[in-house]
A = this chain, B = another copy of it.
Amino acid sequence: MIFEPVSLNISQVSCERDDRLLFHNLSFALRSGDILRVAGPNGAGKTTLLRMIAGLFEVQDGVITIDQEPLSERRHQVLYIGHKPQVSRDLTVIDNLKFLTGFDEPVVKQALIDVGLRGYHDSLVKELSQGQGRRCALARLWCSEAPIWILDEPYTALDVTMVETLDRKINAHVAQGGLCLFTTHQLPQSLNFETLELGRVD
């Protein structure tokens, strides 16, 4: 699959939380093929920025558009994976994924094999280890049709093998014309990304 060219524009966005100025008049644009790492120390506002772009946190000041259209029109073109598990603890791995992606059993099963959860299809999410749960959430990337990926610390809890697999997947995604924004405190080895440094403004 090749995505239509897509562009994400952030212009003059500012954010204040609890009287702390997180970022001020931030502007940048991403196009198909771009990978952007949002970096910064703990509490810099990375998660806040990502949630703003995903439309989960109200933009207080500034404008964010996808292909010149407001975010709310293009929700389904965005795939967001945040800090939370994103999967229901009481459902099996496969049922969770079927709901989240809308794909059928064979596709979803293949995705689970790709993330190394072969043999865990019918386990409940609450019976998985930390990293396995995270893998389950990330399996969505293997059956996603959204061009814009927003990943908040996707490498958390993953072992070395899975980190590499994920890097490969992100590369493949942007090669198809997608774009990816992510945060992490571990420097990815095999990604070709640009960095946006969020520092303490104060």
Contact = CB atoms under 8 A, between A and B. Distances in A.
Nearest to A131: B42
How many copies of the polypeptide does the oligomer hold? 2
Interface in A149-202: 153, 156-163, 185-186
A123 B127 CA distance: 33
Contacts of A127: 18
Contacts of A134: 42
Given A47-B130, A130-B47, A153-B130, A158 B42 contact: yes
A162 B42 contact: yes
Interface string A72-100: 00000000000100000000000000000
Contacts of A47: 129-130
Interface in A98-132: 116, 123, 127-132
Contact of A159 (B129, B159, B161, B185): B185
Interface of A: 18, 40-43, 47, 83, 116, 123, 127-132, 134-135, 153, 156-163, 185-186
